[in-house]
A = this chain, B = another copy of it.
Amino acid sequence: MVGGGDGAFIGAVHRMAARLDDEFELVAGALASTPARARASAAALRLPLERSYDDYATMAARERARADGIDMVAIVTPNDIHVVCDKPLTTSLADAADLVARVARSGLLFALTHNYSGYPMVRQARAMVAAGALGAVRTVQVEYAQEWLSTALEATGQKQATWRTDPTRSGPAGCLGDIGTHAFHLAEFVSGLSCTEVAAELSTFVAGRRLDDNAQLLLRFAGGARGALWASQVAPGSQNALRIRVFGDAAGLAWEQEHPDRLTIARLGAPPETIVRGGPGAGPAAAHATRIPGGHPEGYVEAFAQLYRDVAEQLQARVAGRAPDPRALLVPTVADGFRGVALVAAALDSSRRNGAWTALAALPASSEIQEHLHSDP
C-alpha cells in the first residue's frame, strides 16, 4: 500500500475492505511521506519492518526482487503524486489521457475505487435500468452533499481539509473533484448513459478558500436525457448525502447512500416498491455483491466485529497485565447467556400457566465476577 499511514482516513477503509473477503493480505507498504511516519505506521499494522519502504519507487524495486513480492498495489495517497487509483485519476486531462493509453497498452487491470458502485442496490439499480425496467431514461437527478467544509477547517491544519482545498495538491477542482466525480460516476453507472455536455456554476462560499466548495451542474446525456448534479461541502446537516434518482418513461427509481440497503422503484400505475438487499425483487447483480441476508444491514458485520475487537482488547490487556479499556467490557458474557435461558424458561412457564406472571431465575452467586462485566465501570 502506498499512503494510508498515520492520520489517513481512506487507507484504513481500503485495508478493512481488502481483508473482508480474505482475498488479499497487506504485506508491504510505503505508508507515509516521511520514513519515520511510514515505519511507525507499518509497525502499528504489524508489517515486517524490512517491508516498510520510504517511498513507492523503492517498494516497487525491492518487492519485484522478492519471490513473495507484492501482487497488487493499493495507492491511497492524496492526489499530488502522478499515479493514483483513488479518484480523481489525475489533475489534468492530458495526464488522464496518457494514463489511459499506458494502461491500455499494459493490458493490466486498473481499478478505480468509485466505491459507491460496489453497493448491492446500486448494482441492482444499474441492472434494472439496463434491463429496461424504467423504459427510456428521461431525467437523472444526482447529488452529493456534505457539511464538513462549511467553515474554514483547512485553516486549522486538519489534514483532510488541507490537501483537499489546496490546488497544488488537489488540482483545479475542490468539491467537484472530491465528491462531484463520485456523483457523476454514479449517474453514468446507474443510468447506463453517457453525459455529453455540462453547464456548470462553481462557487466558493468560505472566505479564503482556493477551490470550489459548491457545484451546480446541468447535464445533457447522449440520447436526449437531461439531468442535474449538485455537489456541496458546505451543506449543514449533510454528512455523505449521496443520492440518485433516475426517471424513465415507464418508471423511476431512487437510492440514497445513507440507507444503502433500500432501492425504491415506482412503475407508472403501480404502488412504489421498496427492494431491500437480500429481499424479494433483488436480482443476481445485487446477489453478487451481497454477503448477508436482507434486513441485516451490512453494518451487521461491523457490529459483530466489535465484539471480536473488544475480546481482543481484553485478551491483550491480560497479557500486558494492564486494565482493559472499560468500553471493551461491554461484551456479553455467560451471565447474559444465563439471562436469556432464564427468560425462555420463565416465558414457557408463564405461557403454560395461561400467562401468569412468572419470575426469572436469578444468577448463581458464583457468577458475580462475570456479572460485573455487564455494567459500565
Which of A33-41, A62-70, A102-110 touches B? A102-110
Cα separation A138 to B213 with both chains bound (whole Å):
11
A112 sits at the interface (CB 8 A):
yes
Residue contact B340 to A268, C-beta cutoff 8 Å: no
Cα separation A375 to B194 with both chains bound (whole Å):
11
* Chain B neighbourhood of A334, CB < 8 A: 89, 99-100, 103-104, 110, 112
Binary B-proximity of A329-371 (CB < 8 A = 1, otherwise 0): 0111111111111111111101100111111110110111110
Considering only residues 272-305 of chain A, those with a C-beta below 8 Å from chain B are 272-276, 278-281, 284-285, 288-289, 291-305
Considering only residues 214-241 of chain A, those with a C-beta below 8 Å from chain B are 214-218, 220, 224, 226-228, 230, 232, 234-241
Interface size on A, residues (CB 8 A): 204
Residue contact A376 to B127, C-beta cutoff 8 Å: yes
A58 sits at the interface (CB 8 A):
no
Cα separation A81 to B312 with both chains bound (whole Å):
25
Given A15-B22, A214-B138: A236 and B251 interface contact (C-beta under 8 Å): yes
Query: What's the least CB distance linking A220 to chain B, in Å?
Result: 7
Closest to A367 in B: B100
Considering only residues 247-280 of chain A, those with a C-beta below 8 Å from chain B are 247-254, 257-261, 264-276, 278-280
A49 sits at the interface (CB 8 A):
no
Residue contact A184 to B234, C-beta cutoff 8 Å: no
Given A236-B250, A249-B205: A110 and B370 interface contact (C-beta under 8 Å): yes
Query: What's the least CB distance linking A233 to chain B, in Å?
Result: 11
Considering only residues 86-134 of chain A, those with a C-beta below 8 Å from chain B are 87-93, 95-97, 99-101, 103-105, 107, 109-120, 122-123, 126-127, 130, 134
* Chain B neighbourhood of A258, CB < 8 A: 261, 295, 297
* Chain B neighbourhood of A158, CB < 8 A: none
Residue contact A300 to B96, C-beta cutoff 8 Å: no
Given A237-B251, A247-B234, A274-B274: A315 and B109 interface contact (C-beta under 8 Å): yes
Cα separation A281 to B110 with both chains bound (whole Å):
40
List 10 A-B pairs, minimum CB-CB distance, nearest first.
A239-B295, A237-B266, A89-B337, A298-B299, A17-B304, A118-B306, A240-B295, A118-B303, A181-B340, A23-B312
